[in-house]
Amino acid sequence: MKLATIRTAGTTSAVRIELDSATAVLLDATDVGALLADPLWRSKAADADGSVVSLDGIDYAPLISRPDKIVCVGLNYRSHILEMGHDTPSYPTLFAKYRSSLIGANDDIVLPAASTKVDWECELAIIVGSAVRHADEQSATAAIAGYSILNDVSARDWQNRTSQFLQGKTFESSTPLGPWLVTADEPDAAPGPLQRIVCEVDGETMQDSTTDDLLFDCTTIVSYISTIMTLLPGDVIATGTPSGVGAGRSPQRFLQHGNLVVSTISGLGELRNRCVREVLPGFSS
């Protein structure tokens, strides 16, 4: 089952995506996060037979509009650890984003005026479907509602100001999330050697890997984070990015105004986001 959040008539609505008929069925929830807060979300989403809208020209909002938490894992693909010259971590490297950073699957990425080194990072996102704390492998797996795509667009010059990543990771309107939540019971949703992860900039392939290069798998990540805090329905966990980022290239390469970033994970759809340079108040573009 594929679920999304769309903008419609000045508001937002959770929908069930029907690719075969190129339609979306409106659900009784303002977004996928609100839907997941209902313990019966799975059956309600599957059984809904409400109003139908065409996928043609659909306006995707951020998949989860107001998550309680966005937790990100850094240095979690072996190839990316090597290209950045880091030692292999013994534990997941965690940092946070805030919901003001989130944008929809086709929204513009705002390149902050304060940064000249904005980088791409295509990532598999875990969407939490039920509250979980101190999870073992079984309960961690059960808590995963499904998966989506996130691009952890990063201001490297800000990220590297200190040993803490946060300041370079959560600039406003920088992080596309979507287009869908693909529920964990879908065969294409489970991370593995056949799940290809690709990022293109203006049609040029920058990242091309598979999710079997993950150092810490999804169950391990959920279990680890749940030892620190209670994960809630609608929480988003970004699982890290493979090699091919701009900061790992020689010479380094970063996003520019007008670039089109396309982030794809097989079975989960794609994000298509144009980069637009932030214009500060009082300054002309």
Do both 137 and 237 map to the same domain?
Answer: yes
Same domain, 191 and 56: no
| 110 and 129 assigned to the same domain | yes
The answer to whether residue 284 scores a pLDDT higher than 60 is: no
Residue 254 DSSP one-character state: -
Residues spanned by the domain of 135: 64-277
User: Are residues 181 and 272 part of one domain?
Assistant: yes
| 96 lies in the same domain as 20 | no
Q: Which amino acid is at 180?
A: W
Please indicate, yes or no, whether residues 240 and 102 belong to a single structural domain of this protein.
yes
Q: Are 237 and 93 in contact (CB under 8 A)?
A: no
Average pLDDT over residues 58-69: 97
Residue with tokens 């290069």: 213
Distances (CA, A) of 52 to 24, 34, 48, 55: 6, 20, 10, 10
Rounded CA Rg of the chain: 18
* Residue 189 predicted with pLDDT over 90: no
Output the six-digit token pair for 160.
């590297």
Residues 15 and 141 in one domain: no
* CATH code at position 243: 3.90.850.10
- Residues 210-226: pLDDT tens digits? 999 999 999 999 999 99
For the chain, helix, strand, coil in percent to 5 are 20, 35, 45
8 A C-beta contact, residue 53 and residue 8:
yes
Measured CA to CA, the distance from residue 147 to residue 195 in angstroms comes to: 12
Is residue 166, in this structure, part of any structural domain at all? yes
Instruction: Please indicate, yes or no, if residue 283 is contained in any of the structural domains.
Output: no
Same domain as 185, residue 153: yes
In this structure, the number of other CB atoms found within 10 A of the CB of residue 119 comes to 25
Helices (H), the chain: 32-36, 41-47, 78-83, 137-143, 156-159, 218-228
- 282 inside domain: no
Instruction: Express each pLDDT in 197-211 by its tens digit.
Output: 999 999 999 999 999
Q: Write out the DSSP string of 201-228.
A: ETTEEEEEEEGGGBSS-HHHHHHHHHHH
Q: Which of 61, 80, 99 is the last residue of a domain?
A: 61
Given this model, what pLDDT does residue 70 score? 98
pLDDT of residue 191: 82
Residue 283 clears pLDDT 70, i.e. is over it: no
Q: Tens of pLDDT along 89-144? A: 999 999 999 999 999 999 999 999 999 999 999 999 999 999 999 999 999 999 99
Count H helices, E strands: the chain?
6, 18
Tally of structural domains, the chain: 2
| 28 — pLDDT class (breaks 50, 70, 90) | very high
Q: Is the pLDDT of residue 285 over 60?
A: no
Last residue of a domain, one of 30, 61, 92: 61
- Structural domain ending residue among the three candidates 20, 45, 61: 61
For residues 143 and 187, what is the distance between their CA atoms, to the nearest angstrom? Answer: 17
Nearest to 239 by CA among 282, 209, 262: 209
